[in-house]
Structure 1
Amino acid sequence: MSTSVTALTLGGLDKLPAHARRCVFWEIDPAVAADSREYSDPVFEKEAWLSTVLLEWGSCGQVAAIDDNIAGCALYSPPSAVPRAGLFPTSPVSPDAVLLTTLRAEFPYQDTDVAHQLVQAVVSDLIRRGVRAIESFGLRQDPPSTAMPDLGSLMLMERIAPARLRGNAAQAFECSPESCMIDADFLEEVGFKVVAAHHRFPRLRLELDRDHLWKEDVERALDQLLAAAAQEAPTRVCTF
């Protein structure tokens, strides 16, 4: 399989995976959505948000493809552009960091290295733009429990959980922390460190420096050299 990762562009918004195109978990203030009697088209809302960020800030997404099939995506932006970023118990995001909101490998590519390649692409883009760090609100799964949640936990989840989308098309699609947030264990696996601990929504940070870019460039160069050597290796002819 051949994997490629390319930056999201205004002309390529339709290349986003289906969930990412409709998901407005991060982009719409849940209080605004709850107060709206008729929720507008989430695809339109997402494309409007992406267009604004792309025009005002620059590249804010990476899309992975395997053999021309969309395999996953990553989305990131200044935290000021993300209404939900201020609602977590571990908010706010550090002022020197870009917020990674979405990182998804689509079925059937979850067991490939798509997610890792997306992280590498995000890191490369942001290092070249002089960004000092990436932060993300990770999700930890709650352990099974029969205990009743306390009132504070219920109020927090009411704020974090999105309002139900209205309309026939929207009823079949609903976001949640489980479907729209990045697993905290995966973030730690790729180098993020917890900077604000929480049993459910820790905030994690990845410091960026030129070493990240240097290592990636070296690895890419070695891969290219090995591929070239394999193609140029002489075919041994046995004579008897």
Structure 2
Amino acid sequence: MSRRLVSLTLDTLEDLPRSCRACVFWELDPVAADRACANGDPGLEKEAWVSQTLLEWGSCGKLVYVDGMPAGFVMFAPPAYVPRSMAFPTSPVSPDAVLLMTAHVVQPFADGGLGRMLVQGVARDLTKRGVKAIEAFGDAKFGEVDEAGRNERGCLAPADFFTSIGFKTVRPHPRYPRLRLELRTALSWKSDVEYALEKLLGSMSPESLLRPVLPVRPATRTMQS
């Protein structure tokens, strides 16, 4: 199974899940987002936002492909580019941090470490650009069923996902905690390949590592005169 991480561009934007491709929850303020969804074309609005952010600031997303299939994505930007960021009770984002807007892994590929891989890709990218930390608004009730019987799934990633990969809560809230990850922490993570290699090496004795066992060849018969 091959996994490939790429940056979000106007070309790869088309590989986002259809519902996310046409969602402008983060890119517009609440009033403008409602107007775009009711009377405009949210897909064009999202494309315009990505284009402007790429030109003015740089890479603002990552996608991961598994065997050539889009399997997940993450989007990020400075809070100044994300009008919705000021609408949360735990805002504002810290001045030294970039906002991780959302992270999503397609269900068939869930629990395969792709979310962690995406966040580490963001960390590598932002470290090169002098950023020290990323912050996110998590959803503490993601996936719960509300009183009306509706499943609580929105445009935020679960708070549990962020804490499971090392984010720390900097401002608690019963629904929308703000969490933070120092980029040097993410860069210290070991890849799945490294973990697999360590497991393999750990099962072998030092002697077998230094002195590999050679295959035993069957004895050959000699002809008697």
TM class by shorter chain equals: 0.7 to 0.9
Q: 1:127 to 1:224 in 2, by over 3 A?
A: farther
In 1, the alpha carbon distance for the partners of 2:8 and 2:186 equals 21
User: What amino acid maps onto 2:55 in structure 1?
Assistant: L
Query: Following the alignment from structure 1 to structure 2, what is the Cα–Cα distance between the partners of residues 132 and 101?
Result: 17
Deviations for 1:30-64, whole angstroms, at most 9, x for unmatched residues? 22244569521111111111111111100110000
Structure 2: distance between partners of 1:237 and 1:4: 41
Task: Work out whether 1:184 is the aligned partner of 2:184.
Answer: no
Larger Rg: 2
Mapped contact 2:27–2:49 kept (Cα < 8 A)? yes
Summarize the alignment of residues 101-112 of structure 1 with structure 2, pairs less than 5 Å apart.
101-112=101-112
- 1:10–1:54 contact (8 Å) kept in structure 2: no
Contact 2:7/2:63 (<8 A) preserved: yes
Relative to structure 1, is the Cα distance of residues 73 and 145 closer, same or farther in structure 2, using a 3 angstrom cutoff?
closer
> Which structure 1 segments of 5+ residues have no match?
147-175
TM-score, normalisation: structure 1:
0.74
**CA displacement at 1:188 relative to structure 2:** 0.5
Q: Identity percentage over the alignment?
A: 45
The equivalent of 2:127 in structure 1 is: 127
Root-mean-square deviation (CA, aligned residues, Å) is 3.0
1:1-240 aligned within 5 A: 1-34=1-34, 38-141=38-141, 178-209=153-184, 212-213=186-187, 215-216=188-189, 219=191, 222=194, 236=215, 238-239=217-218
> Take 1:74 and 1:82, find their aligned partners in 2: how far apart are those partners?
14
Residue in structure 1 matched with residue 207 of structure 2 by the alignment: none
- TM-score (norm. length: structure 2): 0.78
**1:78-107, CA deviations, whole angstroms, 9 ceiling, x for partnerless residues?**
111111100111011111110001100013
User: What is the alpha-carbon distance in structure 2 between the residues aligned to residue 69 and residue 60 of structure 1?
Assistant: 21
Contact 2:26 2:82 in 1 (8 A): yes
Q: CA 1:8–1:37 in structure 2 vs 1: closer, same or farther (change >3 Å)?
A: closer
Partners of 1:139 and 1:177 within 8 A in 2: no
- Give the SS at the match of 2:103: strand
1:179 shift after superposition: 2.6
Counterpart of 1:181 in structure 2: which amino acid?
L
Q: How many residues align?
A: 203
Which whole-Å deviations, capped at 9, do the CAs of 1:119-162 have from their partners, x for residues lacking one? 1111111112110110000001187787xxxxxxxxxxxxxxxx
Distance 1:108 1:89, change over 3 A: same
In the alignment, what sits opposite 1:172? none
CA contact (8 A) 2:96 2:132 kept: yes
Tell whether the 8 Å contact from 2:74 to 2:103 is kept in structure 1 after alignment: yes
The ranges of structure 1 where at least 4 consecutive aligned residues each deviate by more than 6 angstroms after the TM superposition are 142-146, 223-226
Check 1:37–1:11 CA distance in 2 against 1; reply closer, same or farther (3 A cut). closer
Q: 1:5 and 1:196 mapped to 2: Cα distance?
A: 31
**Shift of residue 198 of structure 1?**
0.4
